Chain A
Amino acid sequence: MTAVDRHRLSMHHSEVQVSVELQTPDMTLNLGPQHPSTHGVLRLIARVDGEVIEEVEPVIGYMHRGYEKIAEVRTYPQITALVNRIDWVSGFANEIPFMVATERLMGLDVPERAQYIRLILTEMARISSHLVFLSSFPLELGAATPLMHALRERERVLDLIEGVTGGRFHPNFNRVGGVKPAAGAGSTQKKVIQDLPIEFLEQSRQAMQYVRDVCDDLKDLVVGNEIFMERTKGIGIIPVDKALAFGVSGPNLRASGVPFDIRKTDDYLPYSNFEFDVATGENGDCFDRYTVRLEEVIQASRIIDQAIDSIPSGELQAKVPRIFKVPQGEIYVRAENPKGEMGYYIVSEGGRGPYRLKIRSASFSNLSVLPWLLQGQLVPDVIAILGSLDFVLGDVDR
């Protein structure tokens, strides 16, 4: 008797049992790692009774690339290329806290113009990341069209990022002490270098208008849709105490009503120079998580508009030798990334690379709420909740 036969026999047994005793045994449903709605390679082992989830166990690690370990044998400039692959939807934003941490360890003063460029591109990364969420979340509820409309405007933002950095997803643009001269803006070897491409500021202002327009469309057509409300309001509520206990951060935390935004509390970039509101929700359900991100896109475009108006001229980089060592010390710098709080803890022994690098990624902590949150939900709601948490598996597994 082969294993397959035995398996079939046992299936028959259970079928007989069902018909005789009218029991409905729980079914184990494997969502992922290859499933259309798990955003990559997340696997959920769900015990379902009909369509109701009894218990769910997330399995992560399929995307583990060992960045923390690799970082121990890399120099600081080399790590820049690693970190923007953590959350690939907002590659640029990942570089910032690492750079700021390194610069603080070295005691460098970053020129203001470089900081402004960093800030503009970080907010653009936020917009592009949020537009992906705002367009793919309706897709998970079965509406395919918002995807195309929002991604079209995201393309303008990505074009701008590409124009400055040379990369759409993985810019690798920051240098310790500042930013790289813009792609296509003259030889980096020569003394005369240009930083931003011609008409970048004008095009950004235009793109921000397009982004705000598409946000208005989404507000009317998605948020105002009766079926959308029906599917998201009151679904997947994360109360404040649970959100704090699980370490949920970013828009997911703000949707629960906590107005915590690292852009307001920390000074890793000159956010204090600009006016913007922290969007918060009330109930912490899928609907709030959607509207909070929608509002954040609008606020980000506001910040970019102000930054374009007030960008100072000056140097792009602080004076840093080509080969440098970072003094001994430890530091933790966190930043408000599109997905939530992203932080790097660097332990330096005085070498050219870190002795140890710990990456605190937002998606990992946000995901930890899943087993608690998904209990007792219906299968279609599971998809809605997974989508509304807006995680990226590269950010979970690192």
Chain B
Amino acid sequence: MSALFDGFWALLGLKVLVSLLVILNVALVIIFAELKISAHMQSRVGPYFAGGRYGWAQPIADGIKFIQKEDLVPRDADRPVFKLAPMVVLAGTVAVFVIVPFSPTLVVRNLDLGVFYALAAGSIATVGVLMAGWSSANKYSLMGGLRAAAQLIAYELPLVLAVVGVVIHAGTLSMSGIVEAQAEPFFHLGETAIHLPYLFQGQVIGFGIFFIAMLAELSRTPFDMPIAESELVMGYLTEYSGIRFTMFFLGEYAGMFAMSAIASSLFLGGYYFPGLDSATFGPIVLMAKVGLLVFVMIWFRWTFPRFREDQLQSFAWRWMVPLSLVNIAVTATFKVVF
């Protein structure tokens, strides 16, 4: 019994603990980044007092405030589903991190079907959103939940199809395998080996589609129709308060982290950067790439209006799906020819 506990379970416990700590802390950092970046884009100062300097403790203060709030459940709500929904969202998001490689060795579990798993786990969060919308007994929540579901169906397909190009290139579905494949020299220029991430190996369209679909999957502007505060009050979040709202909130930002980490691993070379030792600098390199993508997402959020639901659908089916199919065909042709 003790041997079992020492080995497998201790390691598992440690992994879960470390992952959760890292993910939630990064989510807090992203929240802070969003507060500050949006403020500066709008000629404001942003959080200023919390923590004494630069308002660095603002997300923590917000979190403490939310936890103190009453946990309201509407009378007509479907109680178990209503209470479960935020957990599903958070759990689905956190589960994605299982396969994200932070360095050649720093990975929770290197699954052979890593990409497949990531995309599957990533869409669990949308089920949580649908649950929240349905169980709230609120018309705005319902519309928000249905919009989220429609969005998932429309954008899951281009998301998966965009990845296929990378998978064809790398010849593996394992995330670590894909990153290592990008660490291989793309070609040699005389004596120097040129390393390029897949983004610069011809997967520009793939990356573009992945990024747009990612925004839609995360309900970030310009695809934030499920929340759409000017239309649906707060969408599926309308009836949530206190700790449950916090879970949704953390889930959203953890989701940004998760999807950016996947996008960086698939298209931007993950933990690998030419000239830097992956074993030591891997996590820093990956976080830098994640930071870049997160910044672009925040940038979009504060500069774009949002699409309309039907425009989103027609954009997905008429442009993104055909384009990603073309991308697959071209990638496969090159792979076979060269």
Contact flags A9-47 to B (C-beta < 8 A → 1, else 0)? 000000000000000000101100001110000000000
Whether, in the assembled complex, A181 has its beta carbon less than 8 Å from a beta carbon of chain B, the answer is no
Give the chain A neighbours of B225 by CB distance below 8 A. Answer: 380
Query: Across the interface, which residues of A come within 8 angstroms of B41, CB to CB?
Result: 145
Interface of chain B residues 248 through 303 with chain A (CB within 8 A): 302-303
Q: Which of A36, A141, A379, A381 contacts B305 (CB 8 A)?
A: A141
A145/B305 in contact, CB under 8 A: no
| B221 interfacial contact with A, CB 8 Å | yes
A134 to chain B, nearest CB (A): 14
Q: Which B residues between 1 and 52 are near A, CB-CB below 8 angstroms? A: 38, 41-44
Determine whether A148 belongs to the interface, using a CB cutoff of 8 Å to chain B: yes
Binds A, one of B95-103, B179-187, B229-237, B318-326: B229-237
A160 to chain B, nearest CB (A): 20
Contact (A378, B230) CB under 8 Å given A141-B305, A148-B44, A225-B305 = no
B42 and A378 form a contact (CB under 8 A): no
Query: Across the interface, which residues of B come within 8 angstroms of A8, CB to CB?
Result: 76
Near B by CB (< 8 A), chain A positions 135-158 give 138-145, 147-149, 152
Interfacial residues of chain B within 304-332, with CB under 8 A of chain A in the complex: 304-311
**Is B303 touching A143 in the complex (CB atoms < 8 A)?**
yes
Interface residues of B in 195-220 (CB under 8 A from A): none
Q: Besides A143-B306, A231-B308, 11 other CB < 8 A contacts?
A: A30-B139, A141-B230, A141-B306, A142-B221, A142-B228, A144-B38, A147-B42, A152-B43, A231-B306, A378-B310, A379-B232
B residues in contact with A138, CB < 8 Å: 305
B214 → chain A closest CB, angstroms: 18
Inter-chain contact B308/A144, CB cutoff 8 Å:
no
B114 at the interface (CB under 8 A from A): no
Q: Tell me whether B143 is interfacial, beta carbon within 8 Å.
A: yes
Residues of A within 8 A of B233 (CB): 35-36
Is the CB–CB distance between A145 and B42 below 8 Å?
yes
| Contact of B304 (CB < 8 Å), options: A143, A149, A379 | A143
Which B residues contact A (CB, under 8 angstroms)? 38, 41-44, 76, 139, 143, 221-222, 224-225, 228-233, 302-311
A143 and B305 within 8 A (CB): yes
Q: Using Cβ atoms and an 8 Å threshold, which residues of chain B touch A383?
A: 230-231
Partner of B231, one of A37, A143, A148, A149: A37
Residues 79-122 of A, flagged 1 when their CB comes within 8 A of B and 0 if not, give 00000000000000000000000000000000000000000000
Q: Is B307 touching A227 in the complex (CB atoms < 8 A)?
A: yes
Could you give 19 example pairs across A and B, Cβ below 8 Å?
A36-B230, A51-B309, A139-B230, A142-B305, A143-B221, A143-B306, A144-B38, A144-B42, A148-B42, A148-B43, A149-B42, A152-B43, A225-B305, A228-B305, A231-B306, A378-B309, A378-B310, A380-B228, A380-B309
- Cβ of A230 and Cβ of B44 under 8 Å apart? no
Closest chain-A Cβ to B320's Cβ sits at a distance in Å of 16
Q: Which residue of B lies closest to A383 (CB)?
A: B231
Instruction: Tell me the smallest distance from the CB of A286 to a CB of chain B, in Å.
Output: 12
Give the CA-CA distance A381 to B311 in the complex, in Å: 12
Q: B222–A227 contact, CB under 8 A?
A: yes
Taking CB atoms, residues of chain B closer than 8 Å to A381 are 308
Most buried by A among B42, B225, B311: B42
Q: Shortest beta-carbon distance, B70 to chain A, in Å?
A: 20
Residues of B within 8 A of A152 (CB): 43
Q: Which residue of A lies closest to B227 (CB)?
A: A142
